[in-house]
Amino acid sequence: MTSLPPFQTLLDEHAADVMGVLRGAVGRSDAEDCFQETFLAALRAYPKLGDTSNLRGWLLTIAYRKAIDHHRANGRRPMPVAELAEIGVEDASPEDDGIWEMVGALPPKQRAAVALRYACDLPHAEIAAALGCSPEAARRSLHEGIKRLRKELA
């Protein structure tokens, strides 16, 4: 049996990263709500978590889902994916309207790969670990997702 570290360790090591990612993804004012939702969901699921090899990727995947939920629930003007990690929702420029819907409409693996790469700023290896696939497969999903987005934007 792999033993899970005390949950506090996850908070100590990754809370700042999760908050940073969420500030980028939903804006400063809503980041704290998403932060609460992320860690509560993580805490609920934690005792049954089987794979402990990438806890950071696991947390960031939950954070990304909460950010998507937040955008859907609020019906907010979507944001430019490529800039998600740096800026808040209020800074989105008008010509980028609709990109979140497009990301949301991608097939699940592509959608997750794109969001983990651009919204959560994860490297390929961690995206692969978060999705439970090989780095090559993660790279392929990301590539396919971007290609599809480019086609739709063209």
Partner 1 sequence: MKTALDRLVDRAGTEGLLDVTYATIDSPFGPLLLAATSRGLVRVNLPTYDPEETLEELAARISPRVLEAPARLDEVRRELDLYFEGKLTEFDLPIDWQLTDGFRKKVQRAINRIPYGQTRSYTEMARSAGNERAVRAAGTACGSNPIPIVVPCHRVLRSGGGLGGYGGGLPMKEALLKLEGVL
Footprint on this chain of partner 1 (rule: CB under 8 A) = 3-8, 11, 15-16, 19, 32, 35-36, 39-40, 43-44, 46-47
Distance CA 74, CA 90 (A): 13
Nearest distance, CB of residue 49 and partner 1, angstroms = 8
Looking at the Cβ atoms of 10 and 79, the one nearer to partner 1 is 10
Structure tokens given for 56? 């950071």
The span from the first CA to the last CA of the chain, in angstroms, equals 51
Q: For residues 15 and 82, which CB has a smaller minimum distance to partner 1 in the complex? A: 15
The minimum distance between CB 124 and partner 1, in angstroms, equals 29
CA atoms of 87 and 95, how far apart (whole Å): 16
- In the complex with partner 1, the residue whose CB is nearer, 17 or 96, is 17
What whole-number distance in Å separates Cα of residue 133 and Cα of residue 4? 22
